[in-house]
């Protein structure tokens, strides 16, 4: 359908989102092809309803809901079909043939209209095949078979679009969770307004039992929030002043005032829904294989059918009895059967339904998958590489030791470090700023070197905070500093060296020893990955080897690489790929962007909290829960297993019927019945992925 809209002059781009049923069209305002586009969609037998137009430069765009209106027609056609068979017992053939003919007209009206649209777009689709087959059957006087074929075909199409609508709804439901009213706090008191009318920075009040209408930060009150629409985790999370809350989550206990941080259209949940819709519309490589296959397969079988119809009677001369008009009839019938068999119904739905369902399933579990391709890659992952800080550890590090090395007192070391780290968003920076109030002098010229450290001018003096390697580059490591750092490292702490100077002449003034607790679910997740068939689990970190060894031991990871700079992590990903196959990198998505990007799948943790991670990762674990990872890899594997089953089943049934048709043992209606039947089996098989959280956990 999108293809036929694209043919219309003035249409710049047209895309139908398979998952949401939205048709988005960009057009040239001079030509204004909107009317023609609506006509094309209606012509293809769909209902259409305008959603919104965006006058966005450079091109105006408009989107429509495309609705299927097949149910009633299919119902009437089925009744007519049954009636035709019942009337078949009468002496006269006329009533029965009449009922069949009506069934063909009612049930087939959509099919032939779509066939015309497809031919005009110079493609051969299933509708063309079916129209030919049914016209042929009618020409041979096989009215009953023609009617059965068309009704079964229409029924199959209807069930297919319903199953897609079902998965579509499961995502749409997420959006509807954000309430339609917000209590905006004004000087005069609270007023109820639409969320879209709340200004960013406005204060809204959310009572216990209500859902949050907009993203924001808690300003007053404490409460627990059920964040399951976003993270998949239904255990309420406590929030107090300063904590982020998301639209669509449920306030379970106390009254809170929230200062909003995003307009209604840009809430986290809205972004997630858009990303999921885009993901469901994108195609996995296996799907492209299926499409390519049907593009070749369908014309080949059509040519074969023509050859059978034309050439058959000549061959027929060889088999006694199959000569003359009777023989010809038999061959045409076989050719029609071939046509029906050439319809790749089941094959075409074998993949998308499974993938759309799996993406919906993952979303409900708090895992945002950016496309079917990543499910496919997840299934083939040979090694999972974890970043350490913020991924295997909680990312809430605490400074537990501050050592002064020079003439500056310990307090000064801590406050200078805090002044610099106030400008970094590395997890370690949070520990440093939490440990001491920043020095009061003005800070300027902040330079952060990812994976190493930060430095800035504090009241004209340069202050650097970073790893020992970073300090080494600045030339500040001395015997005393080394020994102190080593002592802290041996305790499994992450070491930061604080140095000051005028840039060319720097000296270490102190050391910070930082501890970051290992996530309680980390070792379980590592075990589950191994049980799930991922042979290699590796840790990549910029931290010192002793801290790395401690975390590795606590999580059961046997292989780790420490003191890696960001480029080093990228190189390590390349080496792991050589050694073990496709690599999944799991990181926090903020500091690990290069490693995530170089992986076959980049997976970001706790992504709901970071818009960048949400947009850039291939897969985002929205919650802060590592157990989602093995579950996601398991889902990828099950998806591919189901896709493979579906493809094999569809092709096997085609092969059987091809053989039966060639030898004259298949009837038209059997061929359609098999095709529709298998399509339904394949759909049901795909929908299994949508259901059962228990199944998703592999229980
Ligand atoms: P990981 O690989 O464990 O996630 P990173 O690559 O983000 O760690 O950082 C590696 C090391 O670089 C840290 O252990 C720390 O010593 C240093 N570092 C990075 N960023 C900062 C910063 N903002 N402040 C201080 N040290 C930093
Ligand atoms: Mg990190």
pLDDT tens-digit profile of 249-270?
999 999 999 999 999 888 888 8
Question: Which residue in the block uniquely carries the two structure tokens 């591919």?
Answer: 640
Give distance in angstroms: CA of 348 to centre of ligand 1.
49
| Residue 286 pLDDT | 79
Tell whether the model's pLDDT for residue 30 goes beyond 50. Answer: yes
In this structure, which ligand is nearest to the CA of 541? 1
Q: Is 542 helix (H, G, I), strand (E, B) or coil?
A: coil
| Residue 17 pLDDT | 62
Which of 387, 618, 625, 675 is flagged as catalytic?
387
- Tokens linked to 57: 């430069």
| Residue 323 pLDDT | 53
Residues lining ligand 1, judged by CB closer than 6 Å?
387-389, 421, 424, 426, 428-429, 448, 451-454, 465-467, 494, 496, 541-543, 591
pLDDT tens-digit profile of 298-308?
A: 788 788 888 88
Count Cα neighbours of 595 within 13 Å in the Cβ-side half-sphere.
34
Choice from 388, 428, 589 to test ligand 1 binding pocket (greatest atom count within 8 A of CB): 428
| Residue 399 pLDDT | 95
| Residue 295 pLDDT | 76
- Tokens linked to 587: 């990181």
**Catalytic site includes residue 387:** yes
Cα 116-118-122 angle, rounded to 5 deg: 110
| Index of the ligand 1 atom closest to the CA of residue 587 | 4
pLDDT tens-digit profile of 611-620?
A: 777 777 899 9
Is 379-387+519-628 in CATH node 3.90.1170.40?
no
Tell whether the model's pLDDT for residue 575 goes beyond 90. Answer: yes
From the options 1.10.1520.10, 1.10.1060.10, 2.70.150.10, 1.10.287.1120, give the CATH code of 182-266: 2.70.150.10
Give distance in angstroms: CA of 529 to centre of ligand 1.
26
Q: Is 273 left (phi over 0), alpha (psi -120 to 50) or beta?
A: alpha
| Residue 697 pLDDT | 40
State the first-to-last Cα distance of the chain, in angstroms, to the nearest integer: 41
Q: Name the strand (E) or helix (H) holding 280.
A: helix 268-281
From the options 3.30.70, 3.40.50, 3.40.630, 3.30.300, give the CATH code of 2-62: 3.30.70
pLDDT tens-digit profile of 211-259?
A: 999 999 999 999 999 988 888 877 889 999 999 999 999 999 999 999 9
Q: Is 469 helix (H, G, I), strand (E, B) or coil?
A: helix
Q: What is the pTM of this model?
A: 0.79
CA distance 113 to 109: 6
Q: Domain boundaries in the chain?
A: 2-62, 182-266, 379-387+519-628, 394-518
Counts of helices then strands in the chain (DSSP H, E): 25, 26
What architecture is domain 394-518? 3-Layer(aba) Sandwich (3.40)
* Dihedral of alpha carbons 301, 303, 307, 310, sign: positive
CA distance 277 to 269: 12
Tell whether the model's pLDDT for residue 450 goes beyond 90. Answer: no
Give distance in angstroms: CA of 525 to centre of ligand 2.
18
pLDDT tens-digit profile of 317-359?
A: 555 555 556 677 888 888 888 888 777 778 877 888 888 899 9
Percentage of residues in the chain with pLDDT exceeding 70?
Answer: 91
| pLDDT band, residue 694 (cuts 50/70/90) | very low
Choice from 425, 450, 467, 494 to test ligand 1 binding pocket (greatest atom count within 8 A of CB): 467
Give distance in angstroms: CA of 629 to centre of ligand 1.
24
| Residue 540 pLDDT | 94
């Amino acid at each position: 359908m999108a293809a036929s809209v694209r043919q219309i002059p003035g249409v710049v781009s047209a895309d139908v989102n398979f998952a949401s049923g939205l048709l988005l069209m960009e057009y040239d305002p001079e030509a204004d092809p909107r009317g023609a586009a609506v006509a094309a969609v209606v012509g293809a037998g769909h209902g259409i309803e305008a959603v919104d137009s965006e006058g966005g430069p450079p091109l105006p765009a408009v989107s429509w809901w495309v609705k299927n209106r097949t149910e009633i027609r299919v119902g009437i056609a089925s009744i007519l079909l049954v009636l035709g068979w019942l009337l078949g017992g009468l002496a006269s053939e006329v009533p029965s043939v009449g009922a069949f003919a009506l069934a063909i007209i009612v049930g087939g009206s959509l099919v032939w209209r779509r066939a015309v649209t497809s031919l005009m777009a110079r493609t051969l689709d299933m509708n063309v095949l079916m129209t030919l087959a049914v016209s042929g059957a009618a020409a041979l006087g096989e009215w009953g078979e023609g009617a059965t074929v068309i009704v079964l075909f229409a029924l199959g199409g209807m069930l297919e679009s319903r199953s897609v609508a079902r998965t579509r709804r499961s995502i749409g439901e997420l959006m509807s969770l954000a309430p339609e009213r917000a209590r905006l706090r004004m000087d005069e008191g609270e007023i109820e307004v639409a969320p879209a009318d709340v200004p960013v920075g406005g204060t809204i009040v959310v009572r216990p039992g209500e859902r949050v209408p907009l993203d924001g930060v808690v300003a007053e009150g404490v409460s627990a929030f059920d964040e399951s629409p976003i993270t998949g985790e239904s255990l309420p999370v406590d929030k107090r002043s300063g904590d982020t809350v998301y639209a669509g989550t449920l306030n379970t206990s106390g009254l809170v005032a929230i200062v909003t941080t995003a307009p209604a259209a840009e809430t986290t949940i809205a972004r997630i829904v858009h990303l999921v819709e885009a993901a469901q519309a994108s195609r996995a490589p296996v799907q492209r294989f299926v499409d390519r296959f049907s593009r070749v397969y369908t014309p080949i079988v059509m040519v074969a059918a023509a050859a059978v119809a034309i050439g058959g009677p000549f061959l027929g001369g060889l088999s006694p009895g199959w000569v003359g008009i009777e023989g010809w009839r038999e061959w045409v019938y076989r050719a029609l059967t071939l046509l029906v068999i050439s319809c790749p119904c089941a094959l075409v739905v074998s993949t998308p339904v499974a993938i759309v369902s799996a993406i919906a399933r993952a979303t409900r579990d708090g895992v945002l998958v950016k496309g079917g391709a990543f499910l496919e890659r997840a299934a083939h992952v040979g090694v999972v590489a974890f970043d350490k800080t913020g991924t295997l550890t909680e990312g809430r590090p605490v400074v537990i030791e501050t050592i002064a090395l020079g003439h500056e007192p310990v307090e000064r070391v801590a406050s200078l470090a805090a002044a610099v780290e106030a400008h970094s968003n590395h997890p370690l920076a949070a520990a440093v700023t939490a440990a001491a109030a920043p020095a009061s002098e003005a800070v300027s010229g902040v330079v952060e070197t990812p994976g190493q450290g930060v430095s800035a001018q504090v009241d004209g003096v340069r202050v650097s905070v970073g790893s020992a390697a970073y300090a080494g580059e600045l030339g500040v490591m001395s015997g005393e500093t080394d020994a102190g750092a080593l002592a802290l490292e041996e305790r499994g702490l992450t070491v930061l060296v604080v140095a000051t100077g005028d840039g060319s002449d720097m000296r270490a003034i102190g050391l910070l020893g930082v501890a970051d607790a290992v996530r309680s679910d980390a070792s379980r997740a590592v075990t589950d990955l191994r049980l799930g068939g991922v042979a290699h689990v590796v840790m990549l970190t910029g931290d010192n080897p002793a801290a790395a060894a401690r975390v590795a031991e606590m999580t059961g990871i046997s292989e780790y690489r420490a003191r890696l700079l960001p480029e080093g992590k990228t190189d390590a990903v390349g080496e792991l790929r050589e050694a073990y196959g496709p690599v999944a990198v799991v990181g926090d998505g903020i500091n690990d962007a290069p490693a995530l990007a170089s992986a076959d799948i980049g997976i970001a943790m706790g992504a709901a909290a970071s818009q960048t991670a949400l947009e850039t990762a291939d897969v985002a674990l929205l919650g802060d829960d590592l157990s989602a990872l093995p579950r996601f890899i398991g889902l990828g594997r099950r998806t591919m297993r189901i896709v493979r089953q579906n493809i094999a089943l569809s092709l096997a049934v085609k092969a059987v019927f091809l053989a039966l048709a060639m030898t004259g043992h298949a009837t038209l209606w059997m061929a359609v019945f098999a095709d529709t039947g298998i399509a339904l089996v394949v759909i049901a098989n795909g929908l299994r992925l949508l259901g059962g959280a228990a199944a998703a956990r592999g229980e």
